Amino acid sequence: MNLYNNYWWFKNAFSPEQCDRIIKMGMQENFELGDINRTNRETVEVEDTKDLFKTRNSHVSWLDEPWIYNILKKYIDAANSSAGWNYDWDWTEMLQFTKYKVGQFYDWHPDQHHYVYPEDDTNVNMRGKYRKLSTTLLLNDASEFKGGELEFHYNMKETKIAEELSSRGTLIVFPAFVYHRVREVTEGTRYSLVSWSIGAPFR
């Protein structure tokens, strides 16, 4: 647990076998360019891609596996309660499997949008809701790559690398408004699974 740095962590939240299973599933899906704020990838122009690469360079695929949601939920609930955030949430978006190869990164950003999902969203469970809690699950050991650290920005002054995120199966939970980044990978490949849990807007 680390409230001062705005996150809560769990070691061995997922077993090595479960992590390997997720990697296998993620690699079997079609990869796409990791975007910001759900850019429509079918209409991305070359110049837009250049601008995107200034902030994010990674590839992702999407998973919708009930067994993963079930495991995540108990840890999200535990962190939400133990950390004292007590955010109301009732849905988790599709799971983002992310692959960072050498030279890839994701610069400073919050996961929380500046808007709620529209009332006509194709997924009725997301309508009128807001991102509240984020998770990052490390799927391979940090010994298999260099760089790629998850770093948090807080108090508008200080930064802190989440050193706890070093072994596969470790899960970090944090409020979606907290600024964070994935530093550039300099060797190997970093695999992770990201989720966002949503609920009614804050009052």
Please report which confidence band the pLDDT of residue 44 belongs to, taking 50, 70 and 90 as the band edges. very low
Is the pLDDT assigned to residue 43 strictly greater than 70? Answer: no
Task: For 58-170, list the strands marked E by DSSP.
Answer: 59-63, 91-92, 95-100, 105-109, 130-138, 145-147, 150-154, 158-161
Is the pLDDT assigned to residue 42 strictly greater than 90? Answer: no
Q: What is the pLDDT of residue 36?
A: 52
Is the pLDDT assigned to residue 75 strictly greater than 50? Answer: yes
Mean pLDDT of 148-152: 96
Mean pLDDT of 79-86: 93
Is the pLDDT assigned to residue 138 strictly greater than 70? Answer: yes
Give phi and psi for 15, each to the nearest 5: -75, 160
Please report which confidence band the pLDDT of residue 49 belongs to, taking 50, 70 and 90 as the band edges. very low
Q: What is the pLDDT of residue 53?
A: 53
Neighbours of 60 (CB within 10 A): 19
Is the pLDDT assigned to residue 102 strictly greater than 80? Answer: yes
Please report which confidence band the pLDDT of residue 34 belongs to, taking 50, 70 and 90 as the band edges. confident
* C-alpha span between 91 and 80 (Å, rounded): 14
Domains of the chain: 8-199 (2.60.120.620)
